[in-house]
Structure 1
């Protein structure tokens, strides 16, 4: 669906029966490799060390083919309210849930990879219209990143985190929100940092689960726990981030598999949900299988495996990467979940975020807290943004 530049138009999702039948046919005809050579009976923390175990994948593929129903998720997106608008020549899709409260604050929530707008589907209503009248309420905007979901796929380079942040400012302005708060994790956290740093006149403050410290900071003075954080983060990037290197250097190559094979797409995404969630064995300990399949099916139906991967090519290094000199002076609330893949000590974070008004280290949760611990996530986000807004009014 196209709309004139500058206009915001309603949008509805409806996958064709032909596309859903094609998905089931491909799943039924899938060719699978032999089992991994590190087999261990479930549950076991090292059961996934060669990737998604064959037995698990077979079960999930069978569920996806015979039991999973895309229609309830599709209907829920339509009930929340979907829209599209063209910014810098690119169609941007977003969810928009206005609160019934007159005192509600606009907030934009930005997802990352391998997530999508599905990350926030279970928290939007609670943020917009909380049961507690004393709790803060928000007009919630959840855009799909360029190349993700129902946003257009960029046909040229340039859509890195800086350009996306500028597009979000334009988007919020078109919705009548001259000032707003922002939240994000993963790539959404980087974009939220850019929003706070580059657009202080528009952004009231930020909440993020990904603090990005400037480079080349010393470990002198860090606590033992903080040093462990640094070691874990370095271990991740040195030994468990081949996916990021692949997508940053050859997104087109991996993209053929992700767009052509639903099983390949499922395994590529499920591997990250398994490793990055705060669980002992399987991501389904905290996230339902259907919610993960909602996310994967959204990638499949929109054929965005390649285009979503390109955010790494656009934003890892080069002119489109996060500026190492960027500083965030607006009030910031930061929550570092214990099983996230990057954990930044507060003393490092303070070198970039100059006004941290709330810092939390929850006891549970990983890279996808809005899906893993949605009740806690909503409470933490409310309290974090309340602290941000209070600091801004002082």
Structure 2
């Protein structure tokens, strides 16, 4: 048993911080631009001006702050870290503990729509027998978790933190789920703590993930070769952010920490490029949703610490040894507007894939864009694994 210091948590932004934000937004210095296909070089100035006007004149932070505070939130001291997390107990006969991990440029805000669908399926047209108890932590350096003060907080360290958090909450076995960094951290948790993982559900498999291929393994198939070609093409057109965030995150962070409009543009470009939209990100995510996520970065001053997670990944890459596989049962779901995703044969080189599905809609921010579809896929994957689940142990 692991003993943790755990406290209830709620957040109330200081009025002076909100006033300062408004002043900075009103003083935005706008860049020029050339005539080109919209969004070719980033968010158009006209779009960002509308976005900032909405932020100033219509968006109400206190409304979204109250919604976030309506979830049961806690902070736990684990090693040198202060980990923030939502802990929503499920309504049903035997809720399965499930850790949901966000990514970048998202935050725990990504999970607010899907948490009720998973914890109380009976209230949303589902079967109460499919309920989960959801633990949704904020990655160190993101949101209300503490910012690491030294190098080394990589996906493996976070995986161990999640294992300690769940032990401190008295969950001996649990499921893990995520996309973006959440997929890396969930996979690392399953790799390092396989005996505790009921199942691993991913809605993304990183373009940078390379399974180890042994001499006796099958050669790359045509589908796998095509996938690698698509990854290379995507990296050439869209991968500049990985290079700068993975090598010089501090340089970029001066601008993102000083200018809320600059921070918003850096995020909005990804919301548009990675979501299931045709013209503007508003088709997939509302301005209120996007701004609330951006506000979390701004009000906690975590632009730099979040970007640093990319340099940690670069310095501590996720490699499997030849012949090594991640043992717990794995489910992978494809969304049509996701970043390049591999064929099943590629995933099966590294994961124990027992569930493979395709959703009709959605992009990189699955829990945000299509919470109902993703929740149903999570339920379907875990349904045959529930007998291995763990109720909360009594202390």
Give the alignment's TM-score, normalised by structure 2. 0.91
Q: Equivalent residues in 2 for 1:285-300 (5 A)?
A: 285-300=283-298
How far, CA to CA, are the matches of 1:221 and 1:323 in structure 2? 21
CA deviation after TM superposition for structure 1 residue 392, in Å: 8.4
Q: Aligned Cα RMSD in Å?
A: 1.9
Alignment of 1:341 onto 2:335: no
The verdict on how the C-alpha distance between 1:255 and 1:186 changes in structure 2, with shifts beyond 3 A counting, is same
Mapped to 1, the partners of 2:381 and 2:9 lie a distance apart of 31
**What is the CA-CA distance between 1:388 and the residue it aligns to?**
4.3
Match of 1:272 in 2: 270
Instruction: Tell me which residue corresponds to 2:60.
Output: 69
Q: Of the candidates 165, 175, 193, which is equivalent to residue 159 of structure 2?
A: 165
**Alpha carbons of structure 1 residues 53 and 387: separation in structure 2 relative to 1, 3 Å:** farther
Deviation at 1:215, TM superposition (A): 5.0
With over 3 angstroms needed to count, the CA separation of the structure-2 counterparts of 1:391 and 1:229, relative to structure 1, is farther
- Give SS of 2:368's match: helix
- For 2:69, what is the secondary structure of its paired residue? helix
- Count the aligned residue pairs: 377
CA contact (8 A) 2:177 2:200 kept: yes
CA shift at 1:222, angstroms?
A: 3.1
**What's 1:324 paired with?**
320
Tell me the residue number matched to 2:393. Answer: none
**Residue number among 211, 215, 224 corresponding to 1:214 in the alignment:** 211
1:104 maps to: 95
Structure 1 residue 378: Cα displacement? 1.2
Q: Which runs of 5+ in 2 are unaligned?
A: 391-395
Per-residue CA distance 1:130-183 (angstroms, 9 max, x = gap): 123355101101000010000000000010000000000000111111110000
Deviations 1:320-353 (A, max 9, x none): 2212325211111111222211301110110100
- Residue number in structure 2 paired with 1:255: 253
The 1-side partners of 2:388 and 2:362 are apart by 27
Shift of 1:362: 1.8
Indicate whether 1:79 and 2:75 are aligned. Answer: no
> CA offsets per residue over residues 60-80 of structure 1, 9 Å max, x none?
001011110111221122111
Specify the SS of the correspondent of 2:18.
helix
Kindly report which structure 2 residues correspond to 1:174-213, keeping only aligned pairs within 5 A, or say none. Answer: 174-211=168-205, 212-213=209-210
Q: Alpha-carbon deviations, 1:181-225, whole Å to 9, x = none?
A: 0001111101111111110111111100123441569874334xx
Secondary structure at the aligned position of 1:20 is classed as helix
Aligned counterparts of 1:66 and 1:383: Cα–Cα separation in 2:
43
Alpha-carbon separation, structure 2, partners of 1:213 and 1:386: 29
Match of 2:308 among 307, 310, 320: 310
Unaligned runs of 5+ residues in structure 1 are: 41-46
What are the superposed Cα offsets for residues 75-113 of structure 1, whole Å, 9 maximum, x if unpaired? 122111111011121111111101132400000000111
